[in-house]
Amino acid sequence: MITEGPEPLWEQAKAALKDRIEAGELKSGSRLPPERELCDLLGISRVTVRRALTALVDEGVLRSAHGRGWYVAQVERKEWPNTLESFTETARRMGLVPTSKVLRCMSAAATLDEAESFQIAPGTPLYRVDRVRMLDGVPIAVDESLVPVDAAVGFESVDFTTLSMYDTLTELGFELAQADATIEARSADAALAEHLDIAPGTPVLEMREIVRDRNGRPLLSSVIRYAGDRYRLRTSFLRGAGT
């Protein structure tokens, strides 16, 4: 509860909210309570709350989503690697807890494009696993993965809410060695926006990836659509001698 004092009420409110964020009560990427609840919690007017929130946006502590509320800004941690690394491995390296909401887990016939990616005949069964990927409970991406059925032994009993696709394939004796990926900017449709808790039309990063074993066999195909403000890809380039 904010009280009268030498500092303006909005500055006290800003400090109180910042303390909660730094203490981990409000996690990176999470949505704040509605302004009305913040008013009741802090004992101040909506105008004062909004001024405090706006100041935190200016400082990069919060971000606002028009019509959807206020969010704790995503904390930038270590850079994403150039080595082949699963979502789960990356999350743990960054000190975050990875979980998933499974949307679909089933076998279905390969489309023409999917068959081409796996170098198989159209209609050949592929095992499909669609998930909303989360870090510390915050939705980061929607992942649609495909695996050849002969590599997906026992997948129907795997708990993909917590288990890694990479780890599962490795435990089955497969070696994921190399991947090719393309990344494009897209707009979120209504279904994707609902899964990621963003507005339809919000920019997302779509990564299409084919992962192969050491013999070049495609073992995993995935389309991962990341919320544009929750994922950042960095890389580096070397200029060869004489070029």
Tokens 């028009």, residue?
66
- 79-130 pLDDT, tens per residue? 444 567 788 887 777 778 889 999 999 999 999 999 999 999 999 999 999 9
163 close to 157: Cβ distance less than 8 angstroms = no
- Please give the pLDDT value at position 79: 43
pLDDT at residue 217 is higher than 90: yes
Residue type, 56: L
Measured distance CA(131)–CA(225) in Å, rounded: 11
Residues pairing with 218 in the sheet: 212
pTM metric for this prediction: 0.64
Neighbours of 226 (CB within 10 A): 22
- 54-80 pLDDT, tens per residue? 888 888 888 887 677 888 886 544 444
- Mean pLDDT, the chain, integer: 86
Q: Is 226 helix (H, G, I), strand (E, B) or coil?
A: strand
End-to-end CA distance of the chain: 64
Q: What domains are there in the chain, each with its CATH number?
A: 9-72 (1.10.10.10), 87-227 (3.40.1410.10)
Measured distance CA(205)–CA(196) in Å, rounded: 12
Q: Is 186 helix (H, G, I), strand (E, B) or coil?
A: strand
237 vs 94 pLDDT, higher one:
94
Q: Is 35 helix (H, G, I), strand (E, B) or coil?
A: helix
Neighbours of 121 (CB within 10 A): 9
